[in-house]
């Protein structure tokens, strides 16, 4: 198993004064993640999955938590007393493109957590050679639309489904030039 990368453990101060600890998601998070999916409210699941949530199985949880931290990367945010309150992830869909998803518990929304996680994921993706995030979501999901506006994303809406793209070079903390990642390339 690939070890989580250093440098992603941090404590964030949110707009309402609460703090969360953010770190890379690991297989040890699988039981809590499964419970969160099973217990999420119907509206959240519909907006996140554009329908019903997938069935929580050991195989799904393994897919969501066993990561290489290069092509598949995820962060978990925990409240000070320990429970997870948000998960943010990207998964490569092409050489330099990754699909992104962020889920935040209702009591932790609208305080800057999703924006902070998007920033952290964007910087991680840039460091790993990605230049775009994409997302598919229910077009009536206003919080996601607002997050995309914050990230300077573009979207196309058809039949109630939105397809969005965020160019990571537009990220306010993006490096001016792309770092040289050639020494990380592996033989295929």
User: Is residue 180 domain-resident?
Assistant: no
Q: How far apart are CA 21 and CA 85, in angstroms?
A: 10
In three-state secondary structure terms, 160 is coil
User: Is residue 185 domain-resident?
Assistant: no
Q: Which helix (H) or strand (E) holds 126?
A: helix 113-127
pLDDT interval class at 188 (50, 70, 90): very low
User: Is residue 119 domain-resident?
Assistant: yes
Asked if 183 and 129 count as a contact pair (C-beta separation under 8 A), the reply is: no
Output the CA–CA distances (angstroms, integers) from residue 118 to 34, 159, 180, in the order listed. Answer: 22, 26, 23
Which pLDDT value is given to residue 4?
93
Q: What is the CATH number of the domain that holds 29?
A: 3.40.630.30
Asked if 86 and 117 count as a contact pair (C-beta separation under 8 A), the reply is: yes
User: Is residue 123 domain-resident?
Assistant: yes
Residue 27: domain span: 10-135
Residue 185 has pLDDT above 70, yes or no: no
- Looking at the structure of the chain, the number of domains it has is 1
Residue 75 has pLDDT above 90, yes or no: yes
Q: How far apart are CA 64 and CA 29, in angstroms?
A: 10
Q: What is the pLDDT of residues 100-133, one digit of tens each?
A: 999 999 999 999 999 999 999 999 999 999 999 9
User: Is residue 162 domain-resident?
Assistant: no
Average pLDDT, rounded, for the chain = 85
User: Is residue 131 domain-resident?
Assistant: yes
Which pLDDT value is given to residue 90?
97
User: Is residue 3 domain-resident?
Assistant: no
User: Is residue 101 domain-resident?
Assistant: yes
Q: What is the pLDDT of residues 19-43, one digit of tens each?
A: 999 999 999 999 999 999 888 877 7
Q: Are strands 19-24 and 10-13 parallel, antiparallel or unpaired?
A: antiparallel
Q: What is the pLDDT of residues 150-180, one digit of tens each?
A: 888 888 999 888 899 999 976 555 554 443 3
Residue 188 structure tokens:
């295929």
- Provide, rounded to the nearest whole percent, the portion of the chain with pLDDT above 90: 59
């Amino acid at each position: 198993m690939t070890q989580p990368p250093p440098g992603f453990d941090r404590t964030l101060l949110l707009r309402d004064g609460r703090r969360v600890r953010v770190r890379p998601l690991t297989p040890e998070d699988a039981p809590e993640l499964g419970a969160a999916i099973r217990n999420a409210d119907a509206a959240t699941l519909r907006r996140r999955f554009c329908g019903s949530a997938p069935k929580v199985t050991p195989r799904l949880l393994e897919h969501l938590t066993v990561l290489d931290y290069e092509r598949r990367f995820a962060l978990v945010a925990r409240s000070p007393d320990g429970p997870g309150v948000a998960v943010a992830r990207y998964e490569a869909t092409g050489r330099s493109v990754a699909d992104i998803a962020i889920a935040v518990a209702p009591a932790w929304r609208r305080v800057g957590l999703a924006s902070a996680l998007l920033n952290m994921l964007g910087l991680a993706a840039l460091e790993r050679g990605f230049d775009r995030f994409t997302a598919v979501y229910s077009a009536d999901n206003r919080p996601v639309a607002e997050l995309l506006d914050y990230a300077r994303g573009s979207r196309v809406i058809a039949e109630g489904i939105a397809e969005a793209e965020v160019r990571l070079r537009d990220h306010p903390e993006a490096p001016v030039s792309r770092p040289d990642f050639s020494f990380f390339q592996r033989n295929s």
